[in-house]
């Protein structure tokens, strides 16, 4: 029977097409309530971003906020690819 080719999820399509933020955008961005952006909570760490314009330092607490927000596999083939490379994690063959 004919199988519909799987379509990338909306989140994966966004990941592929989204542009990388520039330093000044990163610093001025306002995040939704409850999200700590780059201007807080650790300005000392992020001073580097504005200073050089090319340096991106991220506090671990900033990065951890993404953990439950971006959960899609990073490409359509990723699971299969990982399975081929790594195997089934069954303790070896």
Partner 1 sequence: MSEQVDLTTIPISPDGDRGENESSTAAADIDSKLVTVFHDKDNFNVKHPLQNKWTLWFTKPSSGKGDNWNDLLKEVITFNSVEEFWGIYNNIAPVSELALKSDYHLFKEGVRPEWEDQQNKHGGKWSYSFKEKRNIDINDIWLHTMLAAIGETLEEDNDGEVMGVVVNVRKAFFRVGVWTRTIGKSIPNRGDGDVAGGKGRPAEKGKQILENIGKRFKEILKLPATEYVEFSGHTDAAHSGSTRAKAKFTV
40 binds partner 1 (CB under 8 A): no
25 vs 40, beta carbon nearer partner 1: 25
91 binds partner 1 (CB under 8 A): yes
Token pair for 63: 């990065």
Nearest to 55 by CA among 14, 24, 84: 24
Cβ proximity of 44 and 51 under 8 Å: no
Q: Which residues of this chain interact with partner 1, rule CB under 8 A? A: 9-12, 14-15, 17-21, 25-26, 28-32, 35, 45, 48, 52, 54-60, 62-67, 69-75, 78-79, 81-82, 85-87, 89-93
């Amino acid at each position: 029977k004919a199988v519909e080719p799987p379509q990338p999820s909306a989140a994966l399509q966004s990941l592929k097409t989204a542009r990388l933020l520039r330093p000044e955008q990163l610093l001025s961005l306002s995040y939704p309530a409850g999200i700590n952006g780059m201007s807080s909570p650790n300005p000392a760490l992020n001073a580097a971003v504005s200073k050089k314009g090319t340096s991106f330092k991220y506090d671990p607490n900033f990065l951890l906020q993404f953990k439950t927000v971006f959960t899609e596999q990073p490409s359509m083939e990723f699971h299969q690819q990982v399975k081929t490379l790594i195997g089934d994690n069954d303790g070896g063959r």
